[in-house]
Structure 1
Amino acid sequence: MTVSSPLQGASLATSFSRETEHGLTISPRHRKRVVLTGASGGIGILIARRLLALDYQVIALCRSAPAIENDAFIHLPCDLGSPDALSEASALIGENSEPVFAVIHCAGTIAPSPVAQSDEAAIADQIALNLSAPILLTRLMLPLMQTVDGPQKSRIVFVNSMAAVMPLAGSAVYAAAKAGLRSFALSLAQEVRSRGILVSTVFPGAVQTDMLTREMQQGGSMLNYVSTPLDPDLVARAVTDQLTRHREERFLPAIDGIFGRLCMLAPCLLRLCLPLLGLLGRRGYRKAIKR
């Protein structure tokens, strides 16, 4: 999903009423409410479907309507790159007294380019969608979230990227935004823990989605193909698992524990291994495009 211009010809409230036909109503079975961004993307729509299968009510904040028909699914048209649109969407969600159980930030975008050749609009879009929007939406959602102790604690889940801990040449802006998002999540976790809200982040490596295809067509790093890109459903499952089995940071492929800590040494290791990894990536990419 990329940052888009605000919806034309109708207010968010009008568009929302048209989409839902009944407005923001409490689910008849009082399902827990989950606010999800990026639901029209490859990973996001899989997360939405998993949440619905688990009997959550899903409020999707994205510009395009996902191909989902379910009485527990509500699409709220929203330009995530617009602070005003985020405020309006949050106000609509807050009109209902039912608390928000979880917020899942899945929207993201990348425009690979050397910094010297980067377009100003592309830089702004990447920072807006990958960093600013999650921060602003989190601030707006916190007053709406339930604060229950025990296993029913509220959750905030960020879908980040391995680029947050393994920056790559050609993706400096994207990596910077994702690294900033990681620091935000870790700091936020300390702030809201006493309120009964848990914060977690999932860090996927390359994922076989349309976004990865577009990235490679725009000159993305061959390191994406050092190993086979992840199945997006695997990532979606790891994200939804955070609603019941909290882990502050989850890396995919699995490099948790001591291996997760080694990610902090990634920049140094990467410089040493870059030539070999580049060869492996090119070989993997050639195999992928032949399929």
Structure 2
Amino acid sequence: MKALVTGAGGGIGAAIARALDARGWRLVLVDREAGLLDAVAAGLKTPPEKLACDLSSREDVERLCTAIMRDHADLDVLINNAGIGIPGAVADLDQEVLDRHLEINLRAPVRLMRAVAPQMIARGKGAMVATVSLGGIISLKDSAIYSASKFGLRGFLAGFHQEMAAHGVKVSGVYPAAVDTPMLHHEALHGGSVLNFIDKVMTPEDVAAATLKAIDSGKLEIYVPWSASILARFFGAFPWMIRPLLPTMEKIGEKGRLKFIARKGFSVE
């Protein structure tokens, strides 16, 4: 069995790679930084193939798609895990940052799924999994562009899941709450949403386990943890209720943020 994982040099991607390696899978690992891939590969039992690709570059993405179609027609699983999340008000973020969210979080995974779809359809099997986010269900201030990209990815997966089911191909999304990764560390210290810290912070291994579940089951949406999705889906259905309840939620989240910072031993300037 062969799987390709994007964002494999990061915390969640590395955990997914280790989980698949433990199953004896052959891996193709993709990340922007080759050095990160080397570090992940060093901890695996089976040497993976490593491909450097900047998913914010359409030219790089097209080269990756060409390589996949040329060299990996036997790909069993595609895991679109790479993502970017930079907190900030839309008016304060550079346009380049806004564009990178759309390119990395939405366009690149759609393009990669489109690239592998014909070969999986021809074989009548395969699985595609995307690491989405509860930010793809509920949108909050200072995360508008992040949620826009993740809302779009969720919508794509919902329709694509229906299309590919007829061909025996599984399409799933994994929806983590806050995960203990460098991205969350940055948010905790640099003005990210304190609502990340209302519920339990998950580990990359938790997300990796959910990814394996998605590969096996083909379920459209898997939440990590399921309990955190209840509030997100409620506010996703009634977004007008967010503003009046936000002050109370932020107080709870701020307490959680401070506890997280203390537990991690971060210094606050």
* Fold match (TM-score > 0.5): yes
- For residues 233 and 146 of structure 2, the distance between their equivalents in structure 1, rounded to whole angstroms, comes to 21
Distance 1:287 1:71, change over 3 A: closer
Q: Which runs of 5+ in 2 are unaligned?
A: 264-269
Match of 1:45 among 4, 8, 14: 14
- For residues 244 and 48 of structure 1, the distance between their equivalents in structure 2, rounded to whole angstroms, comes to 16
Aligned residues: 257
Is 2:75 the partner of 1:100?
yes
Give 1 or 2 for the bigger CA radius of gyration: 1
Q: Specify the alignment match of 1:227 in structure 2.
A: 199
Is 2:51 the partner of 1:76?
yes
Cα contact 2:21–2:46 (8 A) shared by 1: no
Match of 2:187 among 215, 225, 249: 215
Distance 1:204 1:101, change over 3 A: same
Instruction: Tell me which amino acid in the other structure corresponds to 1:90.
Output: C
Instruction: Tell me which amino acid in the other structure corresponds to 1:274.
Output: L
Match of 2:92 among 94, 108, 117: 117
SS of the equivalent of 1:111 reads coil
Cα contact 1:157–1:239 (8 A) shared by 2: yes
Report the alpha carbon displacement of residue 237 of structure 1 after superposing the two structures with TM. 0.7
Q: Specify the alignment match of 2:145 in structure 1.
A: 173
- For residues 283 and 95 of structure 1, the distance between their equivalents in structure 2, rounded to whole angstroms, comes to 51
Report the alpha carbon displacement of residue 184 of structure 1 after superposing the two structures with TM. 0.6
Cα contact 1:250–1:256 (8 A) shared by 2: no
SS of the equivalent of 1:170 reads coil
Q: Specify the alignment match of 1:144 in structure 2.
A: 119
Match of 1:277 among 237, 249, 252: 249
Report the alpha carbon displacement of residue 227 of structure 1 after superposing the two structures with TM. 1.9
- For residues 255 and 290 of structure 1, the distance between their equivalents in structure 2, rounded to whole angstroms, comes to 24
User: Which digits, 9 at most, give the CA deviation of each residue in 1:252-283, with x for residues without a partner?
Assistant: 22149988864632524433421211101111
Match of 1:163 among 135, 140, 158: 135
Distance 1:56 1:118, change over 3 A: same
Report the alpha carbon displacement of residue 135 of structure 1 after superposing the two structures with TM. 0.9
Distance 1:130 1:97, change over 3 A: closer
- The percentage of aligned residue pairs carrying the same residue is 33
User: Which digits, 9 at most, give the CA deviation of each residue in 1:32-82, with x for residues without a partner?
Assistant: 111110100110000001001111111112122322134341111111122
Is 2:218 the partner of 1:243?
no
Tell me which moved more, 234-243 or 178-187: 234-243
Q: Specify the alignment match of 1:201 in structure 2.
A: 173
Q: Flag the structure with higher helix content.
A: 2
User: Which digits, 9 at most, give the CA deviation of each residue in 1:122-145, with x for residues without a partner?
Assistant: 111111111111111111122232
Q: Specify the alignment match of 2:4 in structure 1.
A: 35
- For residues 256 and 277 of structure 1, the distance between their equivalents in structure 2, rounded to whole angstroms, comes to 13
Cα contact 1:199–1:248 (8 A) shared by 2: yes
Tell me which moved more, 248-257 or 270-279: 248-257
Report the alpha carbon displacement of residue 175 of structure 1 after superposing the two structures with TM. 0.5
Instruction: Tell me which amino acid in the other structure corresponds to 1:137.
Output: L
Q: Specify the alignment match of 1:24 in structure 2.
A: none
Instruction: Tell me which amino acid in the other structure corresponds to 1:130.
Output: N
- For residues 6 and 185 of structure 2, the distance between their equivalents in structure 1, rounded to whole angstroms, comes to 21
Report the alpha carbon displacement of residue 226 of structure 1 after superposing the two structures with TM. 1.1
Q: Specify the alignment match of 1:26 in structure 2.
A: none
SS of the equivalent of 2:215 reads coil
SS of the equivalent of 1:196 reads coil
Tell me which moved more, 216-225 or 36-45: 216-225
